[in-house]
Structure 1
Amino acid sequence: MKRTDGGGAGARARLLARCALLAATAAVVALFVPFGGGGLLIIGSGLLGLVLCAVGTWWFLAHRGPVRLLGALLAAGTPAGMLFLYIAKGLWPTALTALGLWLVALFCARTALRRPHRTQRASPAARPRRPVLLMNPRSGGGKVERFGLVERAERLGARVVLLRGQTDVAALAREAVVDGADLLGVAGGDGTQALVAAVAAEHDLPFLVISAGTRNHFALDLGLDREDPARCLDALNDGEELRVDLGDVAGRAFVNTVSFGVYADVVQRPEYRDAKAETALNVMPDLLAGGEGRRLDATADGTELPGQQALLVSNNPYASADPIGSTRRPRLDRGVLGVIAIRVDGAAQAAELAVRGAQSTGLNVLAARRVEVTADTGTLPVAVDGEALTLPTPVVCTLRPRALRVLVPRMRPGTVPPAPNLKWGRIVALAFGPRGEPR
């Protein structure tokens, strides 16, 4: 089969893979050869430090009073203690050299494995004649007014509807369709985006995302400009169309995620909106170790996930298994849900999760077309795109492939290619295998 990446790209990847192996080997050698040795102490103290930080974090989150204080001291003091040990023992040059070489090895390995990012294919789009945009003036700390979104949208020929108080957003969107709207758009948070997106998909209308929310996860994964939401309006003048998937949880649409378990319990609290961190710290001990947290049983395409503490179902998988959810979804049209399930029963399992990461017994990461969540109660608290809901069990999540037509500006920042999962076996195969191709 003819290669399409060119011999130069293959040779470069092969060279980078060999550099990665060389740097990794040098990092190991640096621990034992130069600067008087001390490699075993550095490795042992490093692993111990990682475990102690994880244990401290668990105690801080799952307990109150003296145990929480001890956990905070352990999590914050362990890195300082390791640094003091390295300086006192004269090991800091060895540790610093090994760390630098290891970072070089990781950079070379990930670059060698990185392949051209296949972006979603956009289609030419006609300019809408009667666009209707719903805007939340309170969203994102007042971005609608700060960026002059109403005035700019009206200059481009759109009708703007401002959301006030407890407005039925979906009803307003349906009224706009009845009045002849040929495009629906939203300047607001992801929860509001999902409500209007469902109406747009129902009537097969283009949907415009304006990144005027707080986090704008959906806009991020569409490649839109999150720093200047006014640039999203350029799609009304010079736009193109993407076909993306739309999630469904118990008949309600979602564009990003559905969360069950600990996080969903936290966002149900009325004080959460005004004091997120304080509320989470106050209720975490009851949810994690106090017996108030629900245990969830889930089934993802036949795979059983019993007794989970937290479960995240996403509209298409994230690029990384990081349970913090700080990564991106490289595509929104794969037609599958992403699933991240977490079960941590104590400090020991928290330490295992810190050391083993995605290989930990407490973390399951997979993709599925259907996820069913049950519990020993008739209803479950659920966070849908960050919005607190209560749904009857069992709760079923599915996906409507390519159901949503999204109008985006032709000129936009775009999505960042995700860092590939690092597997050293692939690096070895790339460095020394036939023609340097990973297997």
Structure 2
Amino acid sequence: MTSPVHPDAQAEGPDKVRVQHRLSAVLALASAAVAGALLLVGISKEFPEFIVALLPMVLIVWLAWRTITRRGKKRLISGVLLLLMIAALIVALAWARFDLRILFAIALAVIATNIFSSLALSWSHIPSDQHVVNRAHHPVLIINNRSGGGAAQKVGLEAKAKQIGITVRVLGEDGDLAQIAQDAVAAGADCIGMAGGDGSLAVVAEVAMEHDLPFVCIPAGTRNHFAMDLGLNRSDLRSGLDAFGAASERRVDVGRVNDRLFLNNVSVGAYGQIVASSEYRDNKLGTTMSRIPDLVGPDAEALDLQFVDGDEAEHESAVVIHVSNNTYDFGPLSLGGRASMSDGLLGIVALVQPDSVTTPPLLRWEAANFDLNSSESIAAGVDGEYALLEPPLKFRIDPMALRLRVPKQVLGISPTAKRPSLTLRTLVDLSDVAMGRWPRSHPKVSLPMRPR
């Protein structure tokens, strides 16, 4: 049986907006206003020199795209022109003689905005359903020593786990990971963990869900996106073993494509074609650069990917479609992560070839479900692993479906939640907090927890 909840257990997450949060929100909004005002002053003071400096920036973006999507001489010429344009930008900035005092003041105001935004908003991402649980009676840890260049083996994870009473199963070269997890449950495991990459984590997490057992994530892969967005310490694998002792438990969402579970995302289109290449695992950058011209260059054939976007518009093709378990923030400070793992929505991003000047090439929306069709099998990257999926693909989110144990000292705040991007959504959230309201961009998880 699973360890019972500690008799004194209570939700650890926040339940209301506090005075210090409201004050931080007010200071963040004030800093943003100062930054905006200084920017307008700087533009008006340096006009028209500002426009002269802006033109090379536009050309740099265009030349960078040509460098990526062309081959041979065209790529070489575009690359040389790109370097020349960067040099021209430096010269233009020097010629414009921007008032460095204004630039410095803008930088300080932006930094202050980000600091106060973090203080005002990150607390609201502490899971409100997180509670204390007792030590697992029959914990089992499965280790993939090949993940992350042997990360688990390098830190002696197996020996440490055995030392504190955890049963360890090591995945062999031809081992069936799902079967190992099922055998562990049949042998009486009341808590099961996985030390490996995100693809391995998803396999064991699904077994844990099937038996309603708590799952422990030990980030022993290469990127460890799932662990990062849970707020776990990715640099200390051994500390993750604390989750098998007296720990904190919460629930998180998982995504599904047809009946396959994913913890992070599924990418189809150009990315799916790239990860399908046999050379990708050993040479990711080289393979990507060699395949991109064939997939998104001027001579590329349109990919048969049929879907309906968030505005109910129909599309017959896309360059890339990225469907994630909760929404990724691609802002410059967000580290490309998710601020929440329990919002109950898929994040969907589609890069399409615009059929008119009014059609944006990048589409973004959120939904509980998403359907994708094609006349042929669809190459995909599922949590970074290649998969050939049979259409139609039916994506859905399973809210709060996975029981997750983390060390007691882990608050469960993603690094992305600590670095909110300065967007309209963030400004709206700051306004909510300043007025004493819960930020509207993500729902407050209420107790009892949302149904599965």
Residue 341 (structure 1) aligned with residue 354 (structure 2): no
CA distance in 1, matches of 2:410, 2:294: 45
Alignment-mate amino acid for residue 47 of structure 2: G
Query: What does the per-residue CA deviation read over 1:288-314, in whole Å, with 9 as the maximum and x for residues that have no partner?
Result: 123246242223678345122111111
Among residues 37, 52, 58, which one is paired with 1:25 in the alignment?
37
CA shift for structure 1 position 236: 1.4
Kept after mapping to 2: 8 A contact 1:239/1:410: yes
Q: Which moved more, 1:185-194 or 1:409-418?
A: 409-418
- Paired residue secondary structure (2:29): helix
CA distance in 1, matches of 2:314, 2:114: 31
Among residues 18, 22, 25, which one is paired with 1:5 in the alignment?
18
CA distance in 1, matches of 2:324, 2:436: 37
CA shift for structure 1 position 42: 2.2
Kept after mapping to 2: 8 A contact 1:13/1:436: no
Among residues 206, 218, 225, which one is paired with 1:198 in the alignment?
206
Residue 423 (structure 1) aligned with residue 436 (structure 2): no
CA distance in 2, matches of 1:106, 1:370: 36
CA distance in 2, matches of 1:435, 1:316: 26
Identity rate, percent: 32
2:307 maps to 298
Among residues 379, 382, 403, which one is paired with 2:380 in the alignment?
382
Please list every run of 5 or more consecutive structure 2 residues that lacks an aligned counterpart in the other structure. Answer: 1-15, 441-452
Distance change >3 Å, CA 268–CA 404, structure 1 → 2: same
Kept after mapping to 2: 8 A contact 1:301/1:369: no
1:362 maps to 361
Query: What does the per-residue CA deviation read over 1:295-337, in whole Å, with 9 as the maximum and x for residues that have no partner?
Result: 422236783451221111111112x255999422122112111
Query: What does the per-residue CA deviation read over 1:39-86, in whole Å, with 9 as the maximum and x for residues that have no partner?
Result: 32223422x223212211211121101221122233333232111233
CA distance in 2, matches of 1:369, 1:323: 27
Residue 311 (structure 1) aligned with residue 315 (structure 2): no
CA distance in 1, matches of 2:256, 2:313: 20
CA distance in 1, matches of 2:327, 2:363: 13
CA distance in 1, matches of 2:274, 2:393: 19
Distance change >3 Å, CA 437–CA 188, structure 1 → 2: closer
Query: What does the per-residue CA deviation read over 1:211-260, in whole Å, with 9 as the maximum and x for residues that have no partner?
Result: 11111011111111101111110111231111111211121111000111
Distance change >3 Å, CA 272–CA 293, structure 1 → 2: farther
**Once superposed, what is the RMSD of the aligned Cα atoms?**
3.2
2:443 maps to none
Distance change >3 Å, CA 198–CA 437, structure 1 → 2: closer
1:357 maps to none
- Paired residue secondary structure (1:117): helix
Among residues 58, 68, 90, which one is paired with 2:65 in the alignment?
58
CA distance in 2, matches of 1:12, 1:381: 46
Kept after mapping to 2: 8 A contact 1:328/1:418: no
Aligned residue pairs, count: 414
- Paired residue secondary structure (1:274): coil
Distance change >3 Å, CA 243–CA 11, structure 1 → 2: closer
Q: How do residues 111-190 of structure 1 correspond to structure 2 at under 5 angstroms? A: 114-115=120-121, 116-120=123-127, 121-190=129-198
Q: Which moved more, 1:377-386 or 1:407-416?
A: 407-416
CA distance in 1, matches of 2:393, 2:425: 39
1:355 maps to none
Distance change >3 Å, CA 16–CA 339, structure 1 → 2: closer
1:249 maps to 257
Alignment-mate amino acid for residue 37 of structure 2: T
2:107 maps to 103
Residue 218 (structure 1) aligned with residue 226 (structure 2): yes
- Paired residue secondary structure (2:137): coil
2:91 maps to 84
Distance change >3 Å, CA 149–CA 4, structure 1 → 2: closer
CA shift for structure 1 position 401: 1.4
Query: What does the per-residue CA deviation read over 1:176-231, in whole Å, with 9 as the maximum and x for residues that have no partner?
Result: 11122112111100001001101110011111100111110111111111011111
- Paired residue secondary structure (1:150): helix
CA distance in 2, matches of 1:226, 1:103: 31
Kept after mapping to 2: 8 A contact 1:250/1:397: yes
CA distance in 1, matches of 2:81, 2:32: 34
CA distance in 2, matches of 1:248, 1:217: 17
Among residues 208, 216, 226, which one is paired with 2:216 in the alignment?
208
Alignment-mate amino acid for residue 118 of structure 1: H
Distance change >3 Å, CA 74–CA 421, structure 1 → 2: same
2:74 maps to 67
Q: Structure 1 length normalisation: TM-score?
A: 0.85
- Paired residue secondary structure (2:92): helix
CA shift for structure 1 position 435: 10
- Paired residue secondary structure (2:48): helix
CA distance in 1, matches of 2:40, 2:245: 57
1:234 maps to 242
Kept after mapping to 2: 8 A contact 1:56/1:70: no
Q: Structure 2 length normalisation: TM-score?
A: 0.83
Distance change >3 Å, CA 138–CA 426, structure 1 → 2: closer
Kept after mapping to 1: 8 A contact 2:333/2:419: no
CA distance in 1, matches of 2:308, 2:335: 25
Alignment-mate amino acid for residue 151 of structure 2: K
CA shift for structure 1 position 343: 1.8
